[in-house]
Amino acid sequence: MSVVLKDFIEAEGLEPGDRLPPERDLALKLGLPRTALRRMLSSLEKEGRLIRHVGRGTFIAGSGVSSSALRRPATNEGDTLRTYPAEVFEARLIIEPKIAALAALRATRQEVEEMQKSIARGSASEALGEFEKWDAVFHRIIVQAARNGLLASLYEGIHAVRAGNLWGKMKEQSLTSERMTAYIVSHQAILDAIKDRDSREAERNMYDHIIEARTNILGPSI
């Protein structure tokens, strides 16, 4: 499990002397129980990767790093907005079920056919990258079918985060052939509701699908 924390440190570009976010914030960002996070921190401290100071925080260790060299995190003012897997899932649960509900009312016959093709191609995929490609195609067609430019823009922001290094590693570690099969079943349930013009069922099925993905990647909700 420590690999999740290592991936976070790498993705954030943290260097020796930099301080990690407070435990409570870090647990929320990574979608981890604080007890599990503390075990990871202890493990990395024993490996000599972290320095922990009571009352000051946890810092990245490294050769030549002394107590006087330990730094507070840089502020995000002026920086590109950073977000984390747990926050991404929160946003997805707010936005994507409603997008699916709109798609059930507005999808064209051609879009429904394209969704079905993406499911078939995803089901036939053996490689992770190929499966991810058709998974993304399926969700993007639903966004297109919703016919709402602002929601489409918000979705693209979420998708951009999901394409990042930390997210990619977590997805790769979580995906198994059984889970890919389960995602295909979930996609088909969403599409069936869209075909039936059942917006409530489409919304409910999309919500359940995102909860399923969150559980697989982050574990049971805290």
* pLDDT score at 135: 93
pLDDT tens per residue, the chain (222 residues)?
566 777 778 777 788 888 888 888 888 777 778 888 888 888 888 888 888 877 778 888 875 544 444 454 444 433 344 567 788 899 999 999 999 999 999 999 999 999 999 999 999 998 888 998 999 999 999 999 999 999 999 998 888 776 666 666 677 778 889 999 999 999 999 999 999 999 999 999 999 999 999 998 887 765
pLDDT score, position 206 = 98
Domain ranges of the chain: 3-60, 85-218
Taking residue 115's Cβ as centre, other Cβ atoms within 10 Å add up to: 26
What is the per-residue pLDDT for 164? 61
Give residue 41's pLDDT.
87
Q: Which residues contact 40 (CB under 8 A, 6 or more apart)?
A: 1, 2, 4, 5, 32
Give the list of residues 6+ apart from residue 50 with CB closer than 8 angstroms, or none: 20, 41, 44, 58, 59, 60, 61
Surface-to-core class of residue 220, CB atoms within 10 Å of its CB (0-12 exposed, 13-18 middle, 19+ buried): exposed
Question: Residue 126: what are its φ and ψ, rounded to 5°?
Answer: -105, -30
Which pLDDT score is estimated for 2?
Answer: 62
CATH architecture of 3-60: Orthogonal Bundle (1.10)
pLDDT score for 67: 47
Per-residue confidence (pLDDT) for residue 74, from 0 to 100? 43
Which residues, 6 or more positions from 66, have their beta carbon under 8 angstroms from its beta carbon?
Answer: none
Classify domain 85-218 at the CATH class level.
mainly alpha
- Report pLDDT for 221: 61
